[in-house]
Structures are given as structure tokens and as C-alpha cells.
Amino acid sequence: MRYFELFSIPVNYDVDLQVIGARYLDLQRAAHPDRHGGGSEREKLLAVQKTAEINDALQTLKHPLKRAEYMLAELGLELRGEQQTLQDPMFLMQQMELREELEEVKTSGNPDAAIAKLEQHIKELNSEYSDELQSLLASQDENDWHKAADNVRKLKFVFKLKDELERIEDELFDD
């Protein structure tokens, strides 16, 4: 996979962000357009393109969802920008319950406790789906890749829920 090769790290969902950060700085130093100021227009353009590619790779590799989507795309399953919903009845029921819990935060007599409880639940779900996603992405079985895609869809919901909770928290405590 190109981004993993570019950063000289193993293809794995679980990455070391410090290694990526250090490698990013090395790559940027080597490719920075200023280093090619005396070169031809083509060399300058290539340096700018390489820098953009390095930046794209960094943004993809450092974010868990983008990284998983990228890995799946490299395996032939394109999820970026899709509108497909998950057809898992248990998960859909869980979504409804979590949405109710989110709404209850707004009217709770103790919003701090309600937020803490929901944050903990979100953290547990994130951990559960991420752990499972790691093993599914490491598999050589195409069926597991489709399961990984479903886990990415679940994680998208969890990340969105977390963002919504943060927005509500800001609204409640921005007085």
C-alpha cells in the first residue's frame, strides 16, 4: 500500500503515531519545494506534488477511520463517500438507544454525570469496534474485509455520536 510504503511502516490498522510524525518530518524536509528552488519548473512542480502526497498520506494514516477506509480501498472495497447504511438490526437498535441517551443529556438534572456515562459508553464501543477492525483488516479472507467495512460504518456512527455529544456539552456549558 502506497501510504504505508511512503512512510516505511508495516501495513497495519494499528500504527505508531509518533513514528508517523517523525517520518512525516523527514519526508517533508526531503521533498519540500524550497529544496528544489534552483531546479527546473518540472522539478519544482514535482516537489509540490510530492509534498501534497505526503500531506494526504499523513492525514489518512493518522486518523483511524480514514486509515481503515484507505486500507479497504486498497483491498478493493471503496467506502469513502458512500451513503450505504448498515443492515444490522442489533446495531440499529443500539443506535436508537444511544440517540435517546444523547437526547437525555440535554434535559438531565445532572448533565456532567450523563455526559460522563455516555462518553464511557462511546469509548467502550470505539475500543470494541477498533479491536475487531484490526483483526479483520489483517485477515486474508475477503469475507472478513466486508465485515471490516461494516465495522468502519459502525465506527463512523460512534465518531459522529462523539462529535454530537461534544457539541451538546459545549452548548450546555458555554454560558
Question: Please, which pLDDT band fits residue 175 given cuts at 50, 70 and 90?
Answer: low
**Quick check: 23 pLDDT over 90?**
yes
Query: What does the angle CA 134 – CA 136 – CA 142 come to, to the nearest 5 degrees?
Result: 145
pLDDT tens, residue by residue, 121-142? 999 999 999 999 999 999 999 9
pLDDT tens, residue by residue, 61-91? 999 999 999 999 999 998 877 767 677 889 9
Q: What is the pLDDT of residue 121?
A: 95
Q: Give the mean pLDDT of the chain.
A: 91
Domains of the chain: 2-62 (1.10.287.110), 89-173 (1.20.1280.20)
